[in-house]
Amino acid sequence: MSIEIRPSGGVLGHEILGVDLARPISDSTFADIEKAFNDCGTVVIRGQKITPEQQIAFTRRFGELDSYPAGNFALPGHDAILVVSNILENGKPIGMIDAGRNWHSDMLFTEKPPRCSLLYSLEVPHQEGQSIGDTLFASTAVAYDNLPESMKTRLNGLKARHSFRTYAATKSDGREKVGDEFADVIHPLVRTHPITGRKCLYLSHSLTQKIGDLDQAQTRQLAHDLIEHITSERHVYRHSWRVGDLVIWDNCSTMHRAIFDYALPQRRRMHRTTVAGGRPF
Ligand code: OGA
Ligand code: MN
């Protein structure tokens, strides 16, 4: 089976055609998928019909499984699958409702954030015949390359401190149990991709508390400016979901954001799997 790549028109979000994840994938086909993925950081595989077991098996091709550490939104019987959904059953959420309305990279608040995440759509909300609940993806690698040289020099070598606790305290629904197990973490602000060697900007809208020796206001300003730059139109792909889409994103070379423009009875339900990663450097 040979795959075909349909470019998105932008720098990421290319579609991979000719893959059926319900069937075994040969090593050479997987190598082609992985190469396309590493090259652009976010790829889309549409029209899939896969079970949780098949999603987990495909995810394992990328590496060890990781699981989401906060809250309890695993699919019953499948610890490796995080349910992302706005659906309530017996008045209780079946999954994580707010999986990231602000620009972020998954689990940046951990010592060893995941290499990549795979999100498979089972239910997609619609309005007037159009799908809603899109997700935006931005390339932190191309954004780095497009910085002025003086800015690259200024940022290289800086460390940033990220705090999940401070962020969680601002969330009102209190669904995420957050205890002292989430100490602040320090990562390089410019990190090197472990496979491609590319430099990538690494920070988050909600979590980044301190950059280098800047004070709070200066940190806020720099983080704001960098995220504005990363998320400018030329670095972004907007994914409009259909049932059966699998989107795979790299948590080093991209960031993403969910557009929360739907509400029950418009239902959205997705299954996320996550691949472990190493300590950023
Ligand atoms: C996630 C996430 C975005 C979305 O699952 O990590 O950010 O649109 N999801 O659901
Ligand atoms: Mn996310």
Task: Name the residue among 30, 181, 160 with its Cα closest to residue 105.
Answer: 160
Q: List, for residues 236-250, the tens digit of each pLDDT value.
A: 999 999 999 999 999
Which pLDDT score is estimated for 171?
63
What residue owns the CA closest to ligand 1's atom 8?
258
Give me ligand 2 centre to Cα 38, in Å. Answer: 18
The β-bridge partners of 239 are 135
Give me ligand 1 centre to Cα 137, in Å. Answer: 10
Which pLDDT score is estimated for 17?
98
Instruction: Check 106, 198, 239, 245 and give the catalytic one.
Output: 106
Which pLDDT score is estimated for 67?
85
Task: Name the residue among 82, 112, 77, 110 with its Cα closest to residue 98.
Answer: 82
Which pLDDT score is estimated for 10?
97
Q: What is the mean pLDDT of the chain?
A: 94
Q: Which residues of the chain have pLDDT under 50?
A: 174-175
Which pLDDT score is estimated for 72?
82
Count Cα atoms within 13 angstroms, Cβ side, for 21: 28
Which pLDDT score is estimated for 99?
81
Token digits of residue 173: 């629904």
Which pLDDT score is estimated for 24?
92
DSSP per position, 239-278? E---TT-EEEEETTTEEEEE-----TTS--EEEEEEE---
Which residue's structure tokens are 């019953």? 76
Which pLDDT score is estimated for 182?
79
With 0-12 / 13-18 / 19 or more C-beta atoms within 10 angstroms meaning exposed / middle / buried, residue 135 is buried
Amino acid sitting at position 262 = Y
Q: What is the pTM of this model?
A: 0.95
> In the annotation, is 106 catalytic?
yes
Pocket test of ligand 1: the residue of 272, 273, 274 to mutate, having most ligand atoms within 8 Å of its CB, is 272
Task: Name the residue among 42, 5, 68 with its Cα closest to residue 271.
Answer: 68
What residue owns the CA closest to ligand 1's atom 4?
258
> In the annotation, is 104 catalytic?
yes
